């Protein structure tokens, strides 16, 4: 009995001390009891470790989420948040855990949303880093879950909102650009229908109508070029475009345009085409034609009669191919230059319209350049002239040996 009690005491002491990994007794019934307890404890420990590991893996996955995640307790206090949420709201783990979310994020829109209790939709609010010059917009959505707790999800929707605004602007611009010639055309139709006109007047009206429909056609064509550029696969690197031949064709086109604009039957500009005859690049013929003709025709259109135009096609010192158009036109003020490739951006609206511009030319050039890995450089001095350069990467260049 005494021995048994002594052993029981020893096992009890062993349990109290909690060093269960040591063995209390090796033999007898108490030995067996202590061994079972030890095994049981070890199993529990292993289970706890496995659970902890799973929890850590789970939290790591939540950390990796591109969305911000915040767990709020039933009183709206922050229990946990991931790095993305920390960046979205400017939270700090040391400072902000267990604080009330609404005390830290003081946006009136969010406060109304939180107070309403209707979380069927997200609310959009400015992010922590938001400034008028660099907007950051967050979509924040609360999802209630167990026992009054809430999961708050935040998503950066800045780019999405900007793209949406650009799309709306674009549709408004296109509608405006089409409506103007359409209104003029409708006015002429009405005049022709209602007024008795002599042959000369009729013919003048019809000419003006043709001009307006031509303007709409040019606009629609440029829009189609842009949408094709956006929707088609990147230009091949294996298809060679004979640029000298293309430039020969564009030279004739430029002289013809200059003649039309001068209204004197001869070209109003002096042209120099300085072309390296055996220099080709790989890419899409129609796209390159579109880009190069836009740059040449712009210089013709914006340079007054008597001006000079120089087109160069050459290899530079780094093996890249350089297409340059230089004119002695009005030049462009520096503040406009970064915006010239935006759709429908024009420095001088009436000059652009008078010469058949759509405001899409340089947007097309930039797009084509990007698709060919080329760089578009614009240099200009007011009152002196402009230079537009397309630099194509050496990887797209070929120098033919045959001529």
Query: Which residues form the interface with ligand ADP (CB under 6 A)?
Result: 294, 298-299, 302, 327, 329-330, 332, 340, 345-348, 352, 357-363, 386
Q: Which is nearer to ligand ADP, 84 or 289 (CB)?
A: 289
Instruction: Compute the distance between CA of residue 11 and CA of residue 22 in angstroms, rounded to an integer.
Output: 11
Residue 227 tokens read as 């949408």
Answer whether 308's CB lies under 8 Å from 299's CB.
Answer: no
Burial (CB count within 10 angstroms: exposed 0-12, middle 13-18, buried 19+), residue 207: exposed
Answer whether 126's CB lies under 8 Å from 137's CB.
Answer: yes
CA distances from 241 to 95, 160, 262, 284 (A): 63, 37, 32, 7
Instruction: Compute the distance between CA of residue 396 and CA of residue 322 in angstroms, rounded to an integer.
Output: 12
Nearest approach, Cβ of residue 396 and ligand ADP (Å): 24
Q: Which is nearer to ligand ADP, 300 or 321 (CB)?
A: 300
Nearest approach, Cβ of residue 129 and ligand ADP (Å): 33
Q: What are phi and psi of 322, to 5 degrees?
A: -120, 125
Residue linked to tokens 């010192």: 317
Q: Which is nearer to ligand ADP, 144 or 306 (CB)?
A: 306
Q: Which is nearer to ligand ADP, 74 or 333 (CB)?
A: 333
Residue 398 tokens read as 């070929």
Q: Which is nearer to ligand ADP, 152 or 257 (CB)?
A: 257
Instruction: Compute the distance between CA of residue 93 and CA of residue 382 in angstroms, rounded to an integer.
Output: 55
Nearest approach, Cβ of residue 367 and ligand ADP (Å): 11
Residue 326 tokens read as 């230089």
Instruction: Compute the distance between CA of residue 102 and CA of residue 98 in angstroms, rounded to an integer.
Output: 12
Q: What are phi and psi of 113, to 5 degrees?
A: -60, -45
Q: Which is nearer to ligand ADP, 181 or 329 (CB)?
A: 329
Instruction: Compute the distance between CA of residue 129 and CA of residue 133 in angstroms, rounded to an integer.
Output: 11
Q: Which is nearer to ligand ADP, 282 or 326 (CB)?
A: 326
Nearest approach, Cβ of residue 325 and ligand ADP (Å): 7
Nearest approach, Cβ of residue 259 and ligand ADP (Å): 18
Q: Which is nearer to ligand ADP, 190 or 348 (CB)?
A: 348
Nearest approach, Cβ of residue 263 and ligand ADP (Å): 19
Burial (CB count within 10 angstroms: exposed 0-12, middle 13-18, buried 19+), residue 25: middle
Nearest approach, Cβ of residue 246 and ligand ADP (Å): 19
Q: Which is nearer to ligand ADP, 226 or 360 (CB)?
A: 360
Q: Which helix or strand (DSSP H or E) is residue 101 part of?
A: helix 101-104
Nearest approach, Cβ of residue 102 and ligand ADP (Å): 49
Q: Which helix or strand (DSSP H or E) is residue 80 part of?
A: strand 78-81
Q: What are phi and psi of 136, to 5 degrees?
A: -130, 120
Between CA 132 and CA 247, with CA 377 as vertex, the angle to 5 degrees is 140
Nearest approach, Cβ of residue 92 and ligand ADP (Å): 48
Nearest approach, Cβ of residue 336 and ligand ADP (Å): 7
Residue 71 tokens read as 């767990």
Q: Which is nearer to ligand ADP, 301 or 396 (CB)?
A: 301
């Amino acid at each position: 009995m005494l021995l048994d009690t002594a052993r029981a005491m020893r096992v009890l002491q062993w349990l109290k001390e909690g060093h269960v990994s040591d063995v209390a007794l090796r033999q007898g019934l108490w030995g067996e009891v202590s061994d079972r307890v030890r095994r049981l404890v070890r199993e529990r420990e292993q289970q706890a470790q496995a659970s902890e590991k799973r929890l850590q893996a789970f939290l790591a996955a939540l950390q990796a989420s591109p969305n911000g995640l915040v767990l709020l307790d039933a009183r709206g206090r922050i229990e946990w948040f991931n790095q993305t949420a920390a960046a979205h709201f400017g939270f700090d783990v040391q400072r902000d855990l267990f604080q009330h979310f609404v005390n830290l994020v003081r946006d009136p829109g969010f406060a109304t949303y939180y107070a309403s209790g209707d979380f069927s939709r997200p609310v959009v609010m400015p992010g922590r880093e938001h400034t008028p010059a660099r907007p950051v917009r967050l979509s924040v959505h609360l999802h209630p879950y167990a026992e009054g707790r809430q999961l708050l999800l935040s998503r950066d929707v800045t780019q999405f909102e900007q793209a949406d605004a650009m799309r709306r602007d674009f549709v408004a611009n296109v509608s405006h650009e089409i409506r103007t010639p359409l209104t003029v055309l409708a006015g002429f139709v009405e005049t022709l229908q209602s007024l008795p006109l002599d042959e000369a007047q009729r013919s003048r009206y019809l000419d003006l109508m043709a001009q307006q429909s031509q303007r709409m056609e040019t606009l629609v064509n440029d829009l189609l070029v842009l949408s094709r550029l956006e929707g088609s696969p990147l230009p091949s690197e294996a298809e060679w475009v004979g640029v000298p031949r293309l430039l020969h064709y564009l030279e004739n086109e430029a002289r013809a345009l200059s003649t039309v604009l001068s209204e004197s039957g001869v070209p109003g500009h002096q042209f120099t085409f300085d072309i390296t005859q055996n220099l080709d690049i790989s890419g899409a013929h129609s796209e390159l034609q579109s880009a190069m003709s836009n740059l040449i025709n712009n210089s013709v259109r914006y340079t007054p009669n008597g001006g000079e135009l120089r087109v160069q096609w050459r290899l530079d010192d780094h093996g890249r191919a350089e297409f340059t158009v230089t004119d002695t036109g009005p030049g462009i003020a520096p503040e406009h230059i970064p915006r010239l490739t935006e759709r429908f951006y024009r420095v001088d609206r009436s000059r652009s319209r008078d010469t058949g511009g759509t405001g899409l030319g340089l947007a097309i050039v930039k797009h084509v350049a990007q698709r060919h890995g080329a760089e578009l450089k614009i240099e200009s001095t007011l009152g002196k002239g402009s230079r537009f350069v397309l630099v194509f990467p050496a990887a797209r260049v070929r120098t033919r040996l045959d001529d």
